[in-house]
Amino acid sequence: NQAMNYLATGTAPQKMGNAHPNLAPYAVFDCADGWLILATGNDGQYQRLCALLGLPDMADAPEFLTNADRVTNRAELTRRLTEATRRFTKPELLAACEAQGVPAGPINDMAEVFADPQVVARGMQITADGVPGVRSPFTFSGADLALGKAAPKLGEHQAEVLGKG
C-alpha cells in the first residue's frame, strides 16, 4: 500500500513503524505480558474488536465509525485501545480475537520463537559440535541441508591459512 499510495499521489511515505498507512487499527499493541499485532481490515472487524475489548461505545463513536475516521484519529484510537489491550495477556487476547474473527498475531520473544510448533517442526534450531545455531529456512525436496560442523573458532585455521602449519 505504501507503493500504491506513492504512485497514486506522488507523495513519499513517512515513517509509520508497524502501522498500516490506510487501515486502523492495524498496528502493534501492548498486552499484560507482551505484544501482538491487531490487523482490522474492515468496519465489522473493528466493531467485533471493540466488543471483545469491552469498548462498545467506541464501535459507534463518530470519530471512529469508519476506517477513514479511524485513520484520521489514529493517535486517540491507539491510545484508547492500548488501555484496553493491556488488561489481557497475549494468549487471552489472541484467543478472543480468533474466536471473533478479528485478525491478530503474536509478536514473539526469542524463547517463544524457538518453542513455536512450526519452528520445531521445521527443525530450525540446530546444534553442531556443541554450538547452537539456526538452520537455513530454505529446504529442497530430497536434499539434506544438515549442518556438518560448527563455524571455526577465532584463529582456529590461522596457521594453515598463513602457511605456518
DSSP 108: -
**Residue labelled with grid coordinates 485513520:** 71
DSSP percent split of the chain into helix, strand, coil, nearest 5:
40, 15, 45
Task: Measure the CA–CA gap between 134 and 129, rounded to whole angstroms.
Answer: 14
Contact call for residues 27 and 81 (beta carbons, < 8 A): no
> Is 20 one of the annotated active-site residues of the chain?
yes
- For the beta carbon of residue 29, count every other beta carbon within 10 angstroms: 21
DSSP 141: T
Task: Measure the CA–CA gap between 141 and 134, rounded to whole angstroms.
Answer: 20
Which of 11, 20, 69, 148 is catalytic? The answer is 20
What residues are annotated to the active site? 20
